[in-house]
Amino acid sequence: MIRPAAGARFAPGDAVRVLDMEKEGHVRTPDYAKGKPGWVAEYLGAFPDPESLAYGGDGLPEKPLYKVGFRQTDLWDGYGGSPEDVLFLDIYEHWLEPREHDGEEQRS
């Protein structure tokens, strides 16, 4: 089911941060996750780049896609739910950068 990406940069368990970039167009990275720390939960395969595909481009080269986990308390100031709550987003590799582990990764 999963098509391997040549040279996927991240592996499950890696600590990552979503890049805080302003970018116009068909971007699939929600604003609320920009700049936030998370971890790679799963590698989902390589997919045509939606930022090119949406405008008649060929979407190539394909982008590695990851399921990235976040602690809700890292996403929202004053999160009112349990500190155990999590949120997952599917993020393309060019929106992620590595960060130092803080020992809280890999919560399912």
Partner 1 sequence: MSENGHDHPHEEPRHESSPWAARIRAVEELLVEKGVFTKKEVKAQVEYMEARTYENGARLVARAWVDPAFKERLLSDTKAAAAELGMDASGPIGFMTLENTDEVHNVIVCTLCSCYPRAILGIPPDWYKSFAYRSRVVVEPREVLREFGLELPEDKRIAVHDSSADLRYLVLPQRPQGTEGMGEAELATLVTRDSLIGTDVPRAPGTRTNRFEAPSG
Interface with partner 1 (CB under 8 A): 1, 28-30, 32, 44-45, 47, 50, 65, 72, 75-76, 79-82, 84-92, 107-108
For partner 1, give the closer residue by CB, 15 or 46.
46
- Residue with tokens 């595909």, as numbered in its chain: 53
Going by the DSSP 8-state scheme, the letter that residue 64 receives in this structure is E
Least distance between partner 1 and beta carbon 32 (Å): 7
Least distance between partner 1 and beta carbon 3 (Å): 10
92: Cα separation from own chain's centroid: 6
At 106 the three-state DSSP class reads: coil
- Residue with tokens 């368990």, as numbered in its chain: 13
For partner 1, give the closer residue by CB, 78 or 100.
78
For partner 1, give the closer residue by CB, 13 or 100.
13
Task: Please tell me the distance from the alpha carbon of residue 38 to that of residue 103, in angstroms, as a whole number.
Answer: 11
Least distance between partner 1 and beta carbon 85 (Å): 5
In 10 A of CB 58, how many CB atoms?
A: 10
